[in-house]
Structure 1
Amino acid sequence: MTTQEAFKKRVRERMQKTGERYGAARRALIEAARARDAAASAADGATTASPARVWVAQPQHSDELVREKTGRGWDAWVDAIDAGPGRAAGHPAIAAWLVAQGVDDWWAQGVTVGYERITGLRLPGQMPDGTFTVSRSRIVAMAPEEARAMIHDDDARAALLPGFETVLRSRPGVRSPGFELRRDGELLGRVTFAFDPAPGGRTTLTVAHAKLPTLEEGDHWKAFWAEWLAALEEAGTTD
């Protein structure tokens, strides 16, 4: 079980015990972890990583890689940022502080995002505005031009997404067309499609769904788009 999965399990266990909603239970556990970290850092003088630290979510890069590229591993960076700008500083201020410590711009952004994930300030798929983005990909048995034409055609797209309304929100000719997704007038986020060539004249079709309000919504739509792509691929192979 990954660290993130273990944390989700703890959240759900707390929900069962307290009757709290997911968000409230998650916040309570994060605050408890922060309190333990603060106590451990105070005892250490913030010179070493806290052995009691709970990683709320996994960073996008391994500890070995971030240590190689920046000179410190994740726990050391968490301690350093906590003792420097702090968790309330915000993403731009933390990234700027890292650059001032000698980290290049690209890795300053990567370390900031990793720090936000570890400490629960940002979960995987969460954007700076607090919303979530998820994506799913699958190889389908059609050429990229055919897949693109199908998605751009209003009738074909409606048949592929019965019960939903889609409104094109991207400029004509862009590589990845984007649509507002609605159901019964309710806005459900923005969906973008990408079409990359795959062996055998096929297409790697990627669906990215942005502007989702919660992590749970992201999990729901990841499952939805995985099933949708599987059905599309199956239809293409049986035609």
Structure 2
Amino acid sequence: MATRGMNIPAIETALGEKWEDTRARLEAAGGASASHRELADALYPQFEGQVDNHGWWVQGAVVAYEQEIGRRVPGQRADGTFDVAVSRTISGQRSDLIAKFASFVDGTLNGAALEGEPRTSETAKRSFWRADLDGGIKVEVAAEAKSDDKTLVVLTTSKLPSPDALEEWRAFGKDFLSRLAGPSARD
């Protein structure tokens, strides 16, 4: 199974220091014996006011460290479940694409039955379709206009039980977005 880890060079660039220095900060904060939250809470103030979007980068650094020490694998959340997101830019309007996505759902997604009714919503920037599935799995489709006739569609599946399920849902998501794009769309 192929896995994807955190981008250490991007973390180094954003934090303005070598990974070895960030790792040393995390180890000084308790290292492998500290929880994710404890590590993030220790690192957070060290970059506050020095790094744009420092909270996001601190979280990324803690996840990369946890992957490095074997506490979690790529795609794994702190609670032990896995998330995967796939995206594609598709011709069409965001609301229309959400409606088209919903029309393809026949009570199941990737063999998992919907629990309850799917929910749709819109903000000024994005349109959403969300559903809960058997086994606690959650699916969200977000659509955001990129131009007058192009929309970025992101399908995120959360609370997956294993790395194998993550890869299965990644493949399913890519196929589903290809179907949403239509037969004339090029990959």
Q: TM-score range by the shorter chain?
A: 0.7 to 0.9
5+ long unaligned stretches in structure 1: 9-56
Letter in 2 for 1:227: D
5+ long unaligned stretches in structure 2: 49-53
Aligned match for 2:132, one of 180, 191, 196: 180
* Per-residue CA distance 1:54-110 (angstroms, 9 max, x = gap): xxx732341xx544554532233324433441212101111222245x222524333
Correspondence 1:191 to 2:139: yes
| TM-score between both structures, scaled by the size of structure 2 | 0.74
CA contact (8 A) 2:101 2:180 kept: no
Counting matched residue pairs gives: 175
Deviation at 1:171, TM superposition (A): 6.6
Q: 1:92 to 1:136 in 2, by over 3 A?
A: same
Measured in 1, the distance between the counterparts of 2:184 and 2:155 equals 17
CA contact (8 A) 1:58 1:118 kept: no
| TM-score between both structures, scaled by the size of structure 1 | 0.60
Correspondence 1:134 to 2:84: yes
Aligned match for 1:143, one of 90, 93, 105: 93
CA contact (8 A) 1:158 1:165 kept: no
Measured in 2, the distance between the counterparts of 1:70 and 1:163 equals 42
Letter in 2 for 1:181: L
* Per-residue CA distance 1:150-181 (angstroms, 9 max, x = gap): 3455xx53289586533345475464221013
How large is the Cα RMSD of the aligned pairs?
Answer: 3.2
Deviation at 1:192, TM superposition (A): 0.4
Q: Could you say which residue in structure 2 is the equivalent of 1:60? A: 7
Moved over 6 A (4+): none
CA contact (8 A) 2:110 2:169 kept: no
Deviation at 1:213, TM superposition (A): 0.8
Superposed counterparts of 1:1-239, under 5 Å:
58-62=5-9, 65-70=10-15, 72-99=17-44, 102-104=46-48, 106=55, 107-152=57-102, 156-158=104-106, 164-166=112-114, 167-168=116-117, 170=119, 172-173=121-122, 175-182=127-134, 187=135, 189-199=137-147, 201-235=149-183
Letter in 2 for 1:82: E
Identity of aligned residues (%): 23
Higher strand share: 2
Letter in 1 for 2:32: R
Q: 1:218 to 1:67 in 2, by over 3 A?
A: closer
Measured in 1, the distance between the counterparts of 2:108 and 2:96 equals 14
Q: 1:190 to 1:80 in 2, by over 3 A?
A: same
